[in-house]
Amino acid sequence: MLAIATAALACLGALAVSTAPAQAAGPIDVTYSPLSLGEYCAAKVNVQSTVGFYNGWLACYKWATPNLVYTGSGSAPAACQWFNPTYTYLGYAQGGAQSLICKYSV
């Protein structure tokens, strides 16, 4: 009988832990590829833009044969805020393949 009571108390303790409120989420990093950056470029820099590269600054281009054609420059912080306006923007960094990494607090 003592074993059953102990097991019941242990189960109640586990339930109490599992129903506790969730901790606030910490900062998150979201990576945006050059094609994703192209969406920002088309919306905010030049409607003909199809691709964007972040390499110390955000450069927008359109596809043209045989090369890409420069259409203007954008703002990395503005792009981060444009992609996720409901998140709190914290900063940005260079990602692989000239992607943009945005840091948010959610």
Torsion of CA 55, 56, 61, 65, to 10 degrees: -40
For the chain, the structural domain boundaries read: 25-105
Q: Give, in order, the Cα–Cα distances in Å from 40 to each of 15, 16, 55, 63.
A: 46, 45, 16, 15
Nearest C-alpha neighbor of 53 from the set 77, 73, 67, 83: 73
Tens of pLDDT along the chain (106 residues)?
A: 433 333 333 333 333 334 444 455 689 999 999 999 999 999 999 999 999 999 999 999 999 999 999 999 999 999 999 999 999 999 999 999 999 999 999 8
Using DSSP, state whether 22 is helix, strand or coil.
coil
Q: What is the pTM of this model?
A: 0.75
